[in-house]
């Protein structure tokens, strides 16, 4: 969950590590810390809270040419200075930054305490540092062997960076279940959990694989497996533009990313390259299935967590509507902890922005173990998820930095829509129907641009409802999962309690919550469900609940009932959630602004949840 950055080379390490941590802070911000290499010692600086706190205590001009840094999202042990990483062995010979969870840390801790080790933190991570140091000092192992022997004793997940007091310039990285990438410069090497942390410094990267270590020195790097055999890996060129990972003129990444959607959605359909107007279908190279194999598919399951799960729910409805194939969405954490029934002829899609979400990755392992075929719908190129799937489609949203997802959500919808169109054309859609859908995709960027025009109306709404303690988000059909996404966005960044429901469920419980203090947000599409949703709105009004309505049709039925009506451009029902998502994102944003929240880094959350 956290961010790791390491540097060894010919430049001063401190500014590079601080810059890297700034880029990584969205991954975890409970505390941060840095260890700098010196002669026969290392110096550790760490502080709880935001990165500013660390910045205030580090020596800016430190001469060290190598070091490791960390931003933490606590799993074991409270948010304190002592629990912040890096963690060192009690004799000051090895120091570690870690992302992940060590399941057997208590046994290891007891064993090491029995040998005289003095522990300073409550973290699981500290056992790694103490164990490496034990093998290094007591058993006189080389740094490589000390790390490899330690890894052999760990149960759990890790992305690791280790430094040694007596080997300045040497950093050993390791990966098992958490992302790790090397950045190769001129006589310098970076080690990071995310390539954005050395953006602008090098584009040559090597992705470490599970159960591998990397040995970094200023002038060399190598990768080995846990049996200490060399593994040869070629460097790859990073494709994305790091300017996109900067805030520019916007106050927050979240707002910037909302406003990028007309462009990012166009990238999802390859600026037209993934659309085939002539045959009314979509062309998706990465699916790695030939058309004959698609004939055998009887069912589609989309898997994800959080926003990706909400997107998956929309995707399943698109698939059923356009391809008339049974489709559903599943919570990856439920798959991994349950005993999923993997049926023959079922095609699974794992949906994820980061491609590093632990629950999603574990569910893929489980499905693959049972013989299922999983394809990825992923944003981060080269991520663990992208690598473990049998194929898939990149959503090309570009770097998404805000913890709350916006453009990755709409791009996921578009890509699932393309897959549904492609499969629909093979099954039930005629050429003319397909062509009409292709046209709708093509018009999305313009419509999203127009939808963003509701910004000032939403700013006023946020002022009006800033004192709400709770809100309901309601929609029917394909808008039901969008209601859940609207509620998730609001909770996440404004901390206002919100629930998303299929509007038909209103009378079955949630109606009890309605009062003048609890506004309801209805999301309405031009569908056969319109009258039913209008009925639900009337039920809320009758109980004096304020009604906000986001709709792509402007009819007196809605005008008469809604206290506030936000009209967005019309599109076909399947793509309506893509357009209607924007006012909901803006609504969450401006309410969070009203309440002075930390919008890009909401409390208790982190961008990619790489721990269980
Ligand atoms: C989105 O706003 C949330 N921060 C969160 O629910 C997120 O969508 C979820 O953790 C899944 O992440 P992923 O897409 O990187 O797999
Ligand atoms: N489990 C470790 C801790 O709680 C690492 C957490 C992280 O990945 O940030 O300190």
Which helix or strand (DSSP H or E) is residue 327 part of?
A: strand 327-331
Selection from 6, 45, 40, 37 nearest residue 194 by Cα? 6
Whether the CB-CB separation of 95 and 87 falls below 8 Å is answered with: yes
Cβ neighbours of 499 (radius 10 Å): 17
Spatial strand order in the sheet of 189-192:
42-48, 31-37, 66-72, 3-8, 189-192, 181-184, 204-207, 236-237
Whose atoms come closest to the Cα of 24: which ligand? 2
What is the Cα–Cα distance from 611 to 100, expressed in whole angstroms?
6
Question: Going by CA atoms, what residue is nearest to atom 4 of ligand 1?
Answer: 404
| Residue 2 annotated in active site | yes
What is the Cα–Cα distance from 367 to 180, expressed in whole angstroms?
24
Q: What is the signed CA dihedral for 342, 345, 350, 356, rounded to 10 degrees?
A: 60
pLDDT at residue number 243: 62
Rg (C-alpha) for the chain, rounded Å, is 25
Query: Can you tell me whether residue 508 is helix, strand or coil?
Result: helix
pLDDT at residue number 588: 98
Query: Can you tell me whether residue 96 is helix, strand or coil?
Result: strand
Q: Is the CB of 492 under 6 A from ligand 1?
A: yes
- The conformational region for residue 485 under phi > 0 = left, psi -120 to 50 = alpha, else beta, is alpha
Catalytic residue among 175, 407, 447, 607: 607
pLDDT at residue number 103: 92
Selection from 390, 346, 403 nearest residue 600 by Cα? 403
Question: Going by CA atoms, what residue is nearest to atom 9 of ligand 1?
Answer: 306
Angle at 101 between CA 189 and CA 87, to 5 degrees: 60
Query: Which of 29, 252, 307, 598 to mutate to test ligand 1, by most ligand atoms within 8 A of the CB atom?
Result: 307
The H-assigned helical ranges of 276-391 are: 291-295, 306-323, 332-337, 358-369, 384-388
Over the range 400-430, which residues count as b (16 or more CB within 10 Å of their CB) and which as e? bbbbbbbbbbbbbbbbbbbbbbbbbbeeebe
Over the range 435-452, which residues count as b (16 or more CB within 10 Å of their CB) and which as e? bebbebbeebbebbeebb
Which helix or strand (DSSP H or E) is residue 158 part of?
A: strand 158-164
What is the Cα–Cα distance from 46 to 315, expressed in whole angstroms?
44
Q: Supply the pTM of this predicted model.
A: 0.81
Q: Could you list the mean pLDDT of each consecutive 10-residue stretch along the chain, which spans 612 residues?
A: 90 96 81 94 95 94 96 93 97 96 95 96 98 98 98 95 97 92 96 89 91 96 96 84 74 96 95 94 88 90 98 98 98 93 94 94 95 95 84 92 96 98 96 98 97 97 96 97 98 97 94 95 88 94 97 94 97 97 98 96 85 70
Q: Is the CB of 405 under 6 A from ligand 1?
A: yes
Q: What are phi and psi of 343, to 5 degrees?
A: -90, 150
Whose atoms come closest to the Cα of 493: which ligand? 1
For residue 132, report the distance from its CA to the centre of ligand 1, in Å.
Answer: 34
Cross-strand bridge partners of residue 176: 158
For residue 47, report the distance from its CA to the centre of ligand 2, in Å.
Answer: 14
* Tokens 């393309």 sit on residue: 418
For residue 192, report the distance from its CA to the centre of ligand 2, in Å.
Answer: 15
What is the Cα–Cα distance from 137 to 75, expressed in whole angstroms?
29
Query: Which of 2, 120, 121 to mutate to test ligand 2, by most ligand atoms within 8 A of the CB atom?
Result: 2
Whose atoms come closest to the Cα of 126: which ligand? 2
Whose atoms come closest to the Cα of 70: which ligand? 2
User: Can you point out the beta strands (E) in 428-545?
Assistant: 470-475, 497-502, 520-524
Cross-strand bridge partners of residue 208: none
Cα 541 to the chain's mean position, in Å? 38
What is the Cα–Cα distance from 605 to 488, expressed in whole angstroms?
13
Whose atoms come closest to the Cα of 331: which ligand? 1
Query: Can you tell me whether residue 186 is helix, strand or coil?
Result: coil
Query: Which of 28, 309, 357, 383 to mutate to test ligand 1, by most ligand atoms within 8 A of the CB atom?
Result: 357
What is the Cα–Cα distance from 368 to 296, expressed in whole angstroms?
18
* Tokens 């880029």 sit on residue: 23
List residues near ligand 2 (CB under 6 A). Answer: 1-2, 28, 72-77, 98-101, 123-125, 611
Q: Is the CB of 306 under 6 A from ligand 1?
A: yes
For residue 306, report the distance from its CA to the centre of ligand 1, in Å.
Answer: 5
Q: Is the CB of 403 under 6 A from ligand 1?
A: yes
Cβ neighbours of 103 (radius 10 Å): 13
**First-to-final CA distance of the chain:** 9
Torsional sign, CA 123, 125, 126, 127 = positive
Which positions ≥6 away from 421 have C-beta within 8 Å?
281, 282, 322, 429, 434, 437, 438, 441
Cross-strand bridge partners of residue 512: none
* Tokens 């954005």 sit on residue: 196
For residue 605, report the distance from its CA to the centre of ligand 1, in Å.
Answer: 10
Q: What is the signed CA dihedral for 477, 478, 481, 486, rounded to 10 degrees?
A: -110
Q: Is the CB of 406 under 6 A from ligand 1?
A: no
Query: Which of 70, 103, 120, 123 to mutate to test ligand 2, by most ligand atoms within 8 A of the CB atom?
Result: 123
pLDDT at residue number 246: 73
| Residue 389 annotated in active site | no
pLDDT at residue number 608: 80
pLDDT at residue number 242: 63
User: Can you point out the beta strands (E) in 491-578?
Assistant: 497-502, 520-524, 547-551, 564-567
Q: Is the CB of 354 under 6 A from ligand 1?
A: yes
Selection from 110, 127, 123 nearest residue 162 by Cα? 127
């Amino acid at each position: 969950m956290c961010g790791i950055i390491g540097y060894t080379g010919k430049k001063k390490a401190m500014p590079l590590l601080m810059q890297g941590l700034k880029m990584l802070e969205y991954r975890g911000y409970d505390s941060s810390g840095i260890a700098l290499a010196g002669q026969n010692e290392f110096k550790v600086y760490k502080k709880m809270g935001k990165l500013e706190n660390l910045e205030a205590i580090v020596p800016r001009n430190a001469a060290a040419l190598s070091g490791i840094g960390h931003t933490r999202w606590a799993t074991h042990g409270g948010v304190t200075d002592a629990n912040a990483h890096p963690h060192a062995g009690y004799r000051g010979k090895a120091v570690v930054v870690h992302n992940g969870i060590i399941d057997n840390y208590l046994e290891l801790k007891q064993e090491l305490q029995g040998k005289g080790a003095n522990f300073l933190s409550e973290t699981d991570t500290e056992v790694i540092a103490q164990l490496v140091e034990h093998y290094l000092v007591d058993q006189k192992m080389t740094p490589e062997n000390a790390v490899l022997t330690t890894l052999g004793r760990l149960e759990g997940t890790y992305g690791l960076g280790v430094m040694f007091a007596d080997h300045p310039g040497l950093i050993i990285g390791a990966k098992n279940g958490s992302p790790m990438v090397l950045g190769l410069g001129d006589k310098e090497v970076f080690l990071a959990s995310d390539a954005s942390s050395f953006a602008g410094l090098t584009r040559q990267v090597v992705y470490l694989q599970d159960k591998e270590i990397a040995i970094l020195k200023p002038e060399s790097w190598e990768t080995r497996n846990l049996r200490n055999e060399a593994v040869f890996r070629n460097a790859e060129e990073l494709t994305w533009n790091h300017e996109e990972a900067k805030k520019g003129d916007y106050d927050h990444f979240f707002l910037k990313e909302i406003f990028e959607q007309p462009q990012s959605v166009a990238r999802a359909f390859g600026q037209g390259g993934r659309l085939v107007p002539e045959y009314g279908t979509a062309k998706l190279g990465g699916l790695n299935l030939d058309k004959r194999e698609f004939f055998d598919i009887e069912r589609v399951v989309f898997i994800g967590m959080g926003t990706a799960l909400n997107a998956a729910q929309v995707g399943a409805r698109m698939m059923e509507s356009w391809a008339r194939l049974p489709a559903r969405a599943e919570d990856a954490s439920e798959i991994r902890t349950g005993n999923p029934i993997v049926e023959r002829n079922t095609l699974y899609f794992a949906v994820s922005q980061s491609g590093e979400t632990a629950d999603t990755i574990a569910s893929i392992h489980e499905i693959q173990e049972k013989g299922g075929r999983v394809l990825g719908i992923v944003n981060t190129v080269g991520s663990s998820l992208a690598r473990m799937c049998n194929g898939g489609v990149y959503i090309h949203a570009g770097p998404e930095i805000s913890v709350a997802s916006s453009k990755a959500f709409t791009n996921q919808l578009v890509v699932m829509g393309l897959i549904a169109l492609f499969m629909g054309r093979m099954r039930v859609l005629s050429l003319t129907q397909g062509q009409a859908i292709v046209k709708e995709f093509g018009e999305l960027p313009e419509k999203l641009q127009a939808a963003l025009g509701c910004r000032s109306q939403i700013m006023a709404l946020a002022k009006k409802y800033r004192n709400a303690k709770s809100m309901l988000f309601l929609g029917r059909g394909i808008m039901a999962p969008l209601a859940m996404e609207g509620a998730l966005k609001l909770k996440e960044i404004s901390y206002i309690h919100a629930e998303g429901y299929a509007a038909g469920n209103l009378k079955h419980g949630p109606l009890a919550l309605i009062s003048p203090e609890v506004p309801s947000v209805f999301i309405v599409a031009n569908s056969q469900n319109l009258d039913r949703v209008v009925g639900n709105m009337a039920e809320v009004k009758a109980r004096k609940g304020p009604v906000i309505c986001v709709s792509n049709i402007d009819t007196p039925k809605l005008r008469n009932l809604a206290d506030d009506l936000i009209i967005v451009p019309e599109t076909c029902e399947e793509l309506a959630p893509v357009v209607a998502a924007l006012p909901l994102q803006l609504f969450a944003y401006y309410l969070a602004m009203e309440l002075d929240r930390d919008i890009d880094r909401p409390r208790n959350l982190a961008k990619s949840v790489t721990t269980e």
